[in-house]
Amino acid sequence: MEPHEPSPPAHAHTEDLLLCCEDLRIGYQGKPMLPPINLQVRRGTFLAVIGRNGSGKSTWFKTLLGLLSPVSGRVFRSSPQVKSAYVPQSTGIDALLPVRTKELVRWGRLSGWNFLRPFSSRQDRSAVESAITSAGAGPIAQLPYRELSEGQKQRALLARVLATEADLVLLDEPTAAMDAVAERETMKRLAELAHEKRLAVVVVSHDLRVAAEFADQLLFVDRETSSVVLGDANTVFCHPAFRHQYGDDYCPRHPAPGHPREPAR
Ligand SMILES: Nc1ncnc2c1ncn2[C@@H]1O[C@H](COP(=O)(O)OP(=O)(O)OP(=O)(O)O)[C@@H](O)[C@H]1O
């Protein structure tokens, strides 16, 4: 280890650990917007980040990626080799070039000016094919990216990020423009990828039920109640801060009127 490299947390020496937030406070201009975040991101897990608009989800992603400095605390990567890939909420890719989806995915795979190489390696080609299949982007692979619908563009960008074969994949509302069927299918695929390929997948989603169905854990962030809640769906959905924002309908312990949990005697 380099002399100036920060020391890892005591619990970080496990092979599945990719990234760790330690008392991490996120915000702008030195002003924290949430209480400290403590969590570990591990291989083979699917984490969904939920919360109202403006609650700090994208800010957290930017801090994880090093695009924004923590207000305090730290983000620790278990190794400098941990490779992350990120799909932001919206991108300017379509404004760039009239490129086919498959080429866009290939460029995601080949870093820097390598994408100008006329031939990619067999390994690159196979990673591109597999990413296109995993993202369900086969039917649109030969179509110009510019001509795709917003939901199809999201699939293409998902394939692009998967082609990088990153260990940690951060996706900010990757299904926002998809119809309900495509959204469910994509979240299911992301969960399978996390579990089968041993990736860590972290997704921001506003579809709470779909997130709860497929994610291993939920991270709920809320500025109004100054809350950060990490746990399974029941833990999060029944938390007072979550219920303050979204009501009781998501919590099985607080059934909606007319749907009693116990049959009436
Ligand atoms: N560069 C910036 N400087 C100061 N404040 C900012 C900056 N960028 C975003 N914010 C503010 O930070 C807060 C959190 O924004 P963020 O984009 O992280 O929310 P979010 O949870 O991702 O929201 P959404 O669900 O709408 O995408 C918002 O109030 C936003 O206005």
Nearest CA to ligand 1 atom 26: 53
Q: Given this model, what pLDDT does residue 90 score?
A: 63
156 SS3 class: helix
Distances (CA, A) of 204 to 142, 170, 195, 238: 29, 8, 18, 20
Q: Given this model, what pLDDT does residue 111 score?
A: 58
Distances (CA, A) of 222 to 26, 51, 167, 236, 243: 12, 6, 28, 12, 11
Ligand 1 atom with least separation from CA of 173: 27
Structural domains of the chain sorted by starting position, each given as residue range(s) with its CATH number in brackets: 15-82+167-246 (3.40.50.300), 100-165 (no CATH)
264 SS3 class: coil
CA angle 220, 59, 36 (to 5 degrees): 55
Question: Could you tell me the mean pLDDT of each successive run of 10 residues in the chain, 265 residues long?
Answer: 46 75 96 96 96 95 93 92 79 66 82 51 86 91 87 85 88 83 86 90 94 96 96 95 94 66 40
Hey, which of 58, 65, 90, 222 would you mutate to test ligand 1's pocket, going by the most ligand atoms within 8 Å of its Cβ? 58
pTM: 0.84
Q: What is the largest CA-CA distance in the chain?
A: 74
For residue 152, report the distance from its CA to the centre of ligand 1, in Å. Answer: 26
Edge-to-edge strand list for the sheet holding 37-42: 37-42, 17-25, 72-77
SS (H, E, C) 47-89: EEEECCCCCCHHHHHHHHCCCCCCCEEEEEECCCCCCEEEECC
For residue 195, report the distance from its CA to the centre of ligand 1, in Å. Answer: 31
Complex ipTM value: 0.97
CA-wise closest residue to 152 among 125, 184, 174, 127:
174
For residue 57, report the distance from its CA to the centre of ligand 1, in Å. Answer: 8
Hey, which of 33, 49, 52, 59 would you mutate to test ligand 1's pocket, going by the most ligand atoms within 8 Å of its Cβ? 59
Tokens representing 143 are: 């179509």
Q: Given this model, what pLDDT does residue 5 score?
A: 44
CB-based pocket (< 6 A), ligand 1: 28, 51, 53-59
Ligand 1 atom with least separation from CA of 52: 25
CA separation for the pair 204, 110 (Å, rounded): 26
Tokens representing 17 are: 């650990």
CA separation for the pair 210, 26 (Å, rounded): 27
CA separation for the pair 168, 19 (Å, rounded): 9
Relative orientation angle of helices 122-134 and 101-109, to the nearest 10 degrees: 120
Ligand 1 atom with least separation from CA of 61: 18
* C-beta atoms surrounding 24 within 10 Å: 24
Q: Given this model, what pLDDT does residue 263 score?
A: 41
